[in-house]
Amino acid sequence: QVQLVESGGRSVQAGDSLRLSCATSGFTFSRYVIGWFRQAPGKEREFVSAVSWGGDKTHIADSVKGRFTIFRDNAKNTVHLQMDSLKPEDTAVYYCAASYEANWSAMKIRQVYSHWGQGTQVFVSL
C-alpha cells in the first residue's frame, strides 16, 4: 500500500524557518520523483518544488526560489522541504506527491503525480 505522510507544518511568524518532511512507504522510492505542492484557501493547488530520482536535479517555483530547498534521503525513503524566510503568502496546506513519470520537464504538472499525501498545514503570520 502506497503511503506518503507529511509532517512539520505549524504556525510561525514571518521570517521564520520550517522543515517539512514526507515519509513514504509501499513503493520503490528511488524510482519516483517526489514533489511538493501547496494549496491556499480559495486557490488552486500549485507546484512548489520537485526532486529527481537520485536527488541530483530539482525544480523550484519562482515564488519560493532562494528561500525553499528540497532534498531527499533515499536510504530513509524521505523527502524534506526546507523553508526559510517564510512570508504570510506561504500560508497553505502543503502536500507531497510521487510520480513515476520519466519526463523530468513535466514534473511541475500536478496531473503527472499518481500518489498524494494528506497534507500538512503551514500558517505564517506577520
Q: What is the pLDDT of residue 101?
A: 82
Q: What is the pLDDT of residue 73?
A: 92
Q: What is the pLDDT of residue 102?
A: 78
Alpha-carbon torsion (113, 119, 123, 124), positive or negative:
negative
CA 54 to chain centre: 16
CA 96 to chain centre: 5
CA 16 to chain centre: 18
Q: What is the pLDDT of residue 99?
A: 95
Tell me the DSSP string of 58-74.
Answer: EEE-TTTTTTEEEEEET
Q: What is the pLDDT of residue 78?
A: 97
Q: What is the pLDDT of residue 20?
A: 98
Enter the C-alpha cell of residue 28: 520503490
Residues in the chain: 126
Which residues of the chain are modeled with pLDDT < 50?
none
Alpha-carbon torsion (83, 88, 89, 94), positive or negative:
positive
Q: What is the pLDDT of residue 62?
A: 97
CA–CA separation, 49 vs 67, rounded Å? 11
